């Protein structure tokens, strides 16, 4: 089994919901970003999404936009991002790492070369926000050969007609965007989401991770009743921005508080 499959199987047996944490690679600088990345599992992160810095992150709110700008200013690029995963794997071979971002940096890197390098470094999956199922076959051709999952996005507007295309070729888990908007803004109406998520669960055996708008332990606890995982990004990134002094405790304290309500 892949790391992602093993993680969800283990948490299901425990009766726990997975905590998926997001940070931007290279934010606020290369050294402290790696320091945070390495510390996340011990703080309670079950799966880590590592953002790939990009100049035009169309799905992101201001918090993650600024994180990408800080990372790029610090010199981060795709090679640094993959190298962060490689360094993480020296001490941790069990926590799944998902690279999340946009197609352009991967296209520029070269799909085949990217898949080879990412797999060798220890990347488990990809979430490419602006690459719809109709257009990801050239990338998926290479990621499948190297055991990297393509994790698709579903939203409140993904209806029964669209869902089969979203699920076709998807693996790892399904990322459910709980709001119709950008990251770190509105909060979802749980009661409104439940019927839609029930429909999706009836069509797939993939675990479902719910993200966007989840900021607090209370938010995470409420959303845990609907999915197999909850994703927290902007709230963590907001703490990361002040770690350039080497103090990462506020980040880890938040992650611990989120993890504690899910276990």
6-32: pLDDT as tens digits:
999 999 999 999 999 999 999 999 999
Which letter does DSSP use for residue 133 in this model? G
The structure tokens listed for 81 are 């991002």
Q: How far apart are the first and last CA of the chain?
A: 23
The pLDDT tens digits of the residues spanning 81-118 come to 999 999 999 999 999 999 999 999 999 999 999 999 99
Q: Is the pLDDT of residue 129 over 70?
A: yes
Mean pLDDT of the chain: 94
Q: What is the pLDDT of residue 181?
A: 54
Kind of pairing between the strands at 149-150 and 153-154: unpaired
- In this prediction, residue 61 has a pLDDT band, given cuts at 50, 70 and 90, of confident
Top-confidence range, 18-27, 174-183, 210-219: 18-27
Q: What is the pLDDT of residue 151?
A: 98
Alpha helix stretches (DSSP H) within 44-167: 62-73, 78-89, 103-109, 111-121, 137-145, 163-167
Q: Is the pLDDT of residue 196 over 80?
A: yes
Closest by alpha carbon to 55, among 73, 36, 68, 40? 68
Q: What is the pLDDT of residue 185?
A: 53
Kind of pairing between the strands at 47-51 and 18-24: parallel
CATH 3.20.20.70 fits 3-254, yes or no: yes
Q: Classify residue 181 by burial, with Cβ atoms within 10 Å: 0-12, 13-18, 19+.
A: middle
The answer to whether the pTM exceeds 0.85 is yes
Q: What is the pLDDT of residue 226?
A: 94
Q: What is the pLDDT of residue 57?
A: 84
Distance, in Å, from the CA atom of 41 to the CA atom of 256, rounded to the nearest integer, reads 10
Q: What is the pLDDT of residue 183?
A: 52
18: β partners: 229
CA torsion, ordered 166, 17, 156, 22, to nearest 10 deg: -80
Closest by alpha carbon to 233, among 82, 62, 83, 92? 62
Distance, in Å, from the CA atom of 262 to the CA atom of 108, rounded to the nearest integer, reads 39
Which sequence spans correspond to the domains of the chain? 3-254
Phi first, then psi, for residue 235 (nearest 5°) are -65, -35
Q: Is the pLDDT of residue 67 over 60?
A: yes
Least confident piece of the model among 20-34, 37-51, 78-92, 189-203: 189-203
Q: What is the pLDDT of residue 257?
A: 98
Cα within 13 Å of Cα(197), Cβ side:
25
Q: What is the pLDDT of residue 114?
A: 98
Q: What is the pLDDT of residue 186?
A: 56
- In this prediction, residue 203 has a pLDDT band, given cuts at 50, 70 and 90, of very high
Contacts of 259 (CB under 8 A, 6+ apart): 19, 43, 44, 45, 46
Q: Is the pLDDT of residue 180 over 80?
A: no
């Amino acid at each position: 089994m892949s790391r992602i499959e093993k993680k969800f199987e283990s948490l299901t047996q425990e009766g726990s919901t997975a905590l998926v944490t997001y940070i931007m690679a290279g934010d606020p600088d290369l050294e402290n970003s790696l320091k945070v990345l390495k510390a996340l599992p011990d703080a309670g992160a079950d799966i880590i999404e590592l953002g790939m810095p990009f100049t035009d992150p169309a799905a992101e709110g201001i918090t993650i936009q600024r994180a990408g700008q800080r990372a790029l200013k610090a010199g981060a690029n795709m090679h640094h991002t993959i190298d962060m995963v490689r360094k993480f794997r020296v001490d941790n071979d069990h926590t799944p790492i998902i690279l999340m971002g946009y197609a352009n940096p991967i296209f520029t890197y070269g799909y085949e070369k990217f898949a080879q390098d990412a797999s060798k470094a220890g990347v488990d999956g990809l979430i490419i926000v602006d690459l719809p199922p109709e257009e990801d076959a050239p990338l998926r051709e290479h990621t499948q050969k190297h055991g990297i999952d393509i994790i698709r996005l579903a939203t409140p507007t993904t209806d029964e007609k669209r869902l089969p295309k979203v699920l076709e070729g998807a693996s790892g888990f399904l990322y459910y965007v709980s709001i119709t908007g950008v990251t770190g803004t509105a909060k979802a109406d749980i009661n409104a989401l439940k019927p839609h998520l029930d429909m999706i669960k009836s069509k797939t055996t993939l675990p479902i991770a719910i993200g966007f708008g989840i900021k607090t332990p209370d938010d995470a606890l409420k959303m845990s009743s609907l999915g197999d995982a909850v994703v927290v990004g902007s709230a963590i990134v907001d703490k990361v921005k002040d770690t350039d002094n080497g103090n990462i405790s506020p980040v880890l304290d938040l992650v611990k508080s989120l993890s504690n309500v899910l276990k």
